[in-house]
């Protein structure tokens, strides 16, 4: 998977061990139901144009790793007021999404794989990333 900073075309690659955990729980259709005084239902509905959450988290504890160097770069990017592109690189899925970091739910979480503080920029970290699609 690639995450590209659109303004500079700089990209980082992360391994394929991430699971899009909220891919199928988001619904594009929104509805509200209210009843009139006589009991007649008033249903309003619309289709969301953007704002789909994309949460990428490890499929299990042995996957979804990124080096400390990559985590630091993504953390620095997460505070920028910019748009990014994520691209899946699986044989069955090469979709691309323009996204911004989702700070409402915590844009980035990282913990050391070894359970101790990293001592090298190459040390692996378990990583969870949260985005909103644009």
- Secondary structure of 2-69 in the HEC alphabet? EEEECCCCEEEECCCCEEECCCCCCCCEEEEEEECCCCCEEEEEEECCCCCEEEEEECCCCCCEEEHH
CA 127 to the chain's CA centroid: 11
Does position 91 have pLDDT exceeding 90, yes or no?
Answer: no
pLDDT tens digit sequence for 46-65: 999 889 999 999 988 788 89
Cα–Cα dist 98/43, whole Å:
32
Mean pLDDT, the chain, rounded, equals 93
Tokens read off for 109: 């979480």
Number of domains within the chain:
1
Does position 98 have pLDDT exceeding 90, yes or no?
Answer: yes
Does position 124 have pLDDT exceeding 90, yes or no?
Answer: yes
Domain span holding position 19? 2-133
CA angle 117/118/123 to nearest 5° reads 145
Tokens read off for 75: 């953390």
């Amino acid at each position: 998977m690639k995450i590209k900073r659109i303004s500079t075309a700089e990209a980082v690659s992360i391994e394929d061990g991430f699971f899009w955990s909220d891919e199928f729980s988001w619904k594009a259709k929104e509805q509200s139901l209210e009843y009139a005084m006589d009991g007649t239902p008033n249903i309003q509905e619309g289709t969301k144009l953007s704002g789909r959450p994309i949460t990428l988290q490890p499929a299990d504890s042995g996957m979804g790793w990124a080096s400390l160097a990559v985590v630091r770069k993504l953390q620095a990017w997460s505070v920028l007021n910019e748009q990014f592109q994520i691209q899946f690189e699986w044989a069955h899925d090469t979709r691309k999404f323009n996204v911004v970091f989702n700070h409402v739910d915590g844009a980035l979480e990282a913990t050391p794989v070894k359970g101790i503080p990293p001592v090298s920029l190459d040390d692996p970290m378990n990583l969870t990333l949260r985005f909103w699609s644009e």
